[in-house]
Each structure stands twice: as structure tokens, then as C-alpha cells.
Chains A and B, each alone.
Chain A
Amino acid sequence: MTNTSKPVYDSASYRGSAIFELKELGKYRYLLGQLIRRDILTRYKRSILGIAWTMLNPLGTMLILTFVFSNFFKTEVAHFPVYILSGLLVWNFFSQGTNAAISGLVWGGSLLKRIYIPSAVFGVSAIGTALVNLVLSLVPLVIVMLIDGAPFYSSLLFLPIAILILTAFTLGFGLLISSLAVFFPDVAEMYQVLLTAWMYLTPIIYPETLISAKWLPFYKINPMYWMVKMFRLPIFEGRVPSWNELLPALAWGIGMLVIGWIYFTSKSEEYAYRV
């Protein structure tokens, strides 16, 4: 108004738009990398095995579940350890990523009150960290497949696409739930219960054949049903998902990302007031 040069900051034309926040995120990409690096380095910094825990954790859970299920439920799935581990990796990625998005925004909130940072940085870096962990935990999956004598199919080349769709869904959901958790602190607690129920409602630790035909349509409402299926088919059945199997996953992935991003950014100017 009084100065002819272009202002660096003008509150009248600022924030609240999805496109604007995307540009801001691009400007802060170095911070994104730094936050992911920090989270990966510090998580196991003082443990002796260090980052190996990223791989040992799902392996341990898989061993317990395999033992329990193959002894008590007498499942007839071949290569059951591979079946469980492939499902667990998807689930761990989703639950860790979304939980980290919640705690990341709450932690970041103490900074958001003091300095300007685009608020989406915390959610995006949380999912980025979970993504690095997911890729690392493919190593134990390969080891278990080798030990178990499971075949390696060329359809494994589809996995990057599956991971991309899964990441889009997780990021969208993580942004949405972390935003809600800021306005309603109870959401973070409720979400833990929801996650447990959600995991048992998704065929991760039990074979899909256990679901009765009567209930299967209800299972198919669950987006994670499609995510796990999409990830598991190339590993387990040696084929790329059919369009009928891929489209629901793709629609959930893109739809959730768009909804999550628009909702999160529409509230972006309120976080510094509320966190």
C-alpha cells in the first residue's frame, strides 16, 4: 500500500487455500527432509541394535502371530508367515504414519505458536518417516520369503505403485485425523481404540477365506481391505490386481488425499491459535 515493492507477507492474501499450502510445502522441502531424518535417526539412537529394530519389530510380531494362529486356528494358508507379514507391513505403515501425524502436529504446535512454519510439514514428514520404515521392512519380508521357500513372482514389480496408493491414502487420512485431534483432544485417544478394532476388521492376521459370504460386502466398505489386498496379491498370489480390485484402492487413495489436504489446509490459520 505504502511501499511500491512487492510485499513478502500480506495477511490479506494469505493461507487457507489448498494450492497456496502446497507451494509453501515446496518452499520448506528442506525442512521436510530434516524432520524425516531426525525422526529416523533419533528413534533408536540409544539402542544397541539401532535402526535394525525397524525390521525386527514386525518380524517379532509376525513370529508370535504365526505361532498362535498356526497352532490354535489350524489355518490352511500356504506360506502363512509371508501372508501375515505382508499384511502387517501395510497395517504398521498406516497406524504408525497416522499416529505420528497426530503427535507431530501436537509437537509442532509448540513451534507454530512461535515461528511461522507451514503446518502441513509435520503430517507430511510423519508419513515420510513411516514410508522409509516401510521400505526398510521389505528386507525382513524378503528374508522370510526365502526361509519359507515362497516363490518370487515378477508381479512384485507392482509393489511401488501399491505403496504409492497406500501412501496417498495414509497421508490424506493422517492430515484429516491430526486436524480433528487439534480441535477435539479426545480424538487422539479414541483413535487408538478405533485402530485396534479396525485392524481386526481387516483380513491381516486371518485369511480372507475365513470371512463368511454374508459379511464380505461389509468388509469391502473398509478402505484398508483394498489396501492390504492390493499389496498382498503381487507377493502372495503372483499377480497384479485386476481393475476391479485396483479401482477401489485407487479411488480411496486419491479421494482421501484430496479430502484430507483440503480439510487440513482450510484450517491452517487456526492451528497456531488452538494447538
Chain B
Amino acid sequence: MSDLEARTKTSPNDSIIMLDNVSVSYRLPSERIGTFKEYAIRKLQRKIKIQKFWALTDVSMQIRHGEVFGIIGNNGAGKSTLLKVISKVLKPTKGRVVVHGKIAPLLELGAGFHPELSGRENVFLNGALLGYSHAEMEAVFDETVQFAELEQFINSPIRTYSSGMYARLGFAVATAHVPDILILDEILSVGDEAFQKKSRERLQSFQQQGATVLMVSHALDSMIGMCDRIAWIDHGIVRKIGLPEEVIADYRGDNI
């Protein structure tokens, strides 16, 4: 099934991610109460005003099975919050999120690596953090190391790795399994040019195997080529969802 067919033939019935009037509010950091004393005093004075900041307001969208869905918007618009709500890191304050598949989060590569452990040990630790079992990691271990081009160094402590080696291993572990949904948050620039090409090819092969891709990026021109649809988020509100060219044109028009 080609992308084009997927784009034209799908009905709302094959939505893999559904957001129904999702709102997310954060407490403002300045309102954080650090001590019991402060808490007790304010409680007595009935002065605990929770100042809320709405990062997302009434966001509804359906992302279809197999599509590449882009999210654009200015800094602080709520793009990352949206990804976190979908990858069940944050529970929505209001509304409902339903996801029909396993999500591979690619938010920050190599988060959770321990510098004193070897590359090998870190592959298993990181795999466990991403929710995989020992058998699942065992099955992809050799291929992962090979992809990261770290065969020679895999038994050395990761603190001896260069930042490029570190990021390559992080990318290789996070993409070791074909997920139902892949989340990309501006991380397509890992390693040197050859590795970037290799990682793009890996992501494309995921798509061909039916994975749904959700990406956040500021590289608007490259998104036109890659995405099937794009959502523009502005101050926590969906401004527009539609074909990449149209949404990006509107977004650019708004920012002049």
C-alpha cells in the first residue's frame, strides 16, 4: 500500500491516535510551594491559588494508520506537550486520548544511559526503560550494535564514547524494534552525514512496514516532502490541520 493510497482511501475508522478535546494545564513554577511551613501558612490563610497555564486547549485530531503526521508551531506553542500526551507521559487534564498501538518514543536519545556501564549493558538497560523484555533485546542486540557501528567499543564503558557514538547508540536502541507509532522530536540530525542518511532510511523502512510517524520540526521545507498531513499549533490551540503545503503557507503568512 503506497502512501498516496493510504492518504486517499482512509476513513476516520482507521485512526490510530485519537484526541478528543484534550486540554493540558501546568502549574506555573513560581507558584510552587517548597516547604511544609509555607504550605501550612497558605492553607490556613486559604491563599493557595493554583495559577494554571493551559499548554493545550481543546485539541481534537485523528491520526490515521500509516500516515506521516507533522506538527508545527512557534516555540512554546504546545508541540512537545502534545507529543507527551500521546506517548502517555502526561495524562490530559481534560479530554481523552486513545492510542491503538505501541509507541516508540524518540524524545531524547540516550537519556538513561549510565556512563560507567559498558555499551552492551546500556543497550539492555535502555531497552528495559523503553519497555522491552530481555528476550526482545537479545533478539535485536547484534543488529543494533552493527547499526550503531560500535562493534569494537561495545564492551567499553560508555563514558569513553564520543558524543557521536553516544547518540548513534541511543538512536539504534530506540529504533531497534519496528513500532506501530514512531515519535520524532527534532532528532534527525544524529551523527555524521552517512549516519544521518542511514537513520533516514531506517525511518522510511518503518513507514513502509506500516508504522505511523509523528514528527515535530522547524525544518518546514523538508516537512512538505515528508508529511501526509500537518497540524499547526498556536498557543495550545489547533489553528489548522490539512495538507502540508496549505498549512505551512498559512503558518508562514501568519508569522510575517
List chain A positions with a Cβ less than 8 A from chain B.
1-3, 5, 7-12, 14-15, 27-28, 30-31, 33-35, 38, 41-42, 45-46, 110-117, 184-187, 269, 272-273
User: A38 with B111: in contact, given A116-B89, A186-B36 (CB under 8 Å)?
Assistant: no
B255 at the interface (CB under 8 A from A): no
User: A38 with B89: in contact, given A1-B20, A7-B99, A45-B116 (CB under 8 Å)?
Assistant: no
Whether the Cβ atoms of B89 and A11 lie closer than 8 Å is no
Could you tell me the distance in whole angstroms from the C-beta of A21 to the nearest C-beta in chain B? 13
CA distance in complex: A239, B101 (Å)? 56
B198 at the interface (CB under 8 A from A): no
Whether the Cβ atoms of A10 and B96 lie closer than 8 Å is yes
Whether the Cβ atoms of A11 and B114 lie closer than 8 Å is no
Q: A5-B100, A14-B88 are in contact. List 8 more A-B contacts (CB 8 A).
A: A2-B12, A8-B180, A11-B95, A27-B131, A112-B89, A116-B105, A116-B131, A186-B35
B178 at the interface (CB under 8 A from A): no
Interface size on B, residues (CB 8 A): 51
Residues of chain B from 154 to 211 with CB closer than 8 A to chain A in the complex: 180
User: A38 with B98: in contact, given A115-B87, A115-B107 (CB under 8 Å)?
Assistant: no
Whether the Cβ atoms of B89 and A8 lie closer than 8 Å is no
CA distance in complex: A115, B88 (Å)? 8
Whether the Cβ atoms of A115 and B101 lie closer than 8 Å is no
| Stretch of B69-77, B121-129, B142-150 with 4 or more beta carbons under 8 angstroms from chain A | B121-129
B15 at the interface (CB under 8 A from A): yes
B59 at the interface (CB under 8 A from A): no
Chain B positions within 8 Å of A7 at CB level:
98-100
Chain B positions within 8 Å of A116 at CB level:
87-89, 105, 131
Interface string of B62-85 (1 = CB under 8 A from A): 100000000000000000000011
List chain B positions with a Cβ less than 8 A from chain A.
12-16, 18, 20, 26-27, 33-36, 39, 62, 84-85, 87-92, 95-103, 105, 107-108, 111-112, 114, 116-117, 121, 124-125, 128-134, 180
CA distance in complex: A105, B12 (Å)? 40
CA distance in complex: A15, B97 (Å)? 13
Could you tell me the distance in whole angstroms from the C-beta of A164 to the nearest C-beta in chain B? 26
CA distance in complex: A15, B90 (Å)? 11
CA distance in complex: A256, B153 (Å)? 46
User: A3 with B14: in contact, given A8-B100, A115-B107, A184-B34 (CB under 8 Å)?
Assistant: yes
CA distance in complex: A62, B238 (Å)? 64
CA distance in complex: A156, B90 (Å)? 48
Whether the Cβ atoms of B108 and A2 lie closer than 8 Å is no
User: A273 with B12: in contact, given A42-B114, A114-B105, A184-B36 (CB under 8 Å)?
Assistant: no
Which residue of chain B lies nearest to A42 when distances are taken between CB atoms in the complex?
B116
CA distance in complex: A136, B111 (Å)? 31
The listed residue (B15, B84, B89, B117) touching A3 by CB distance below 8 A is B15
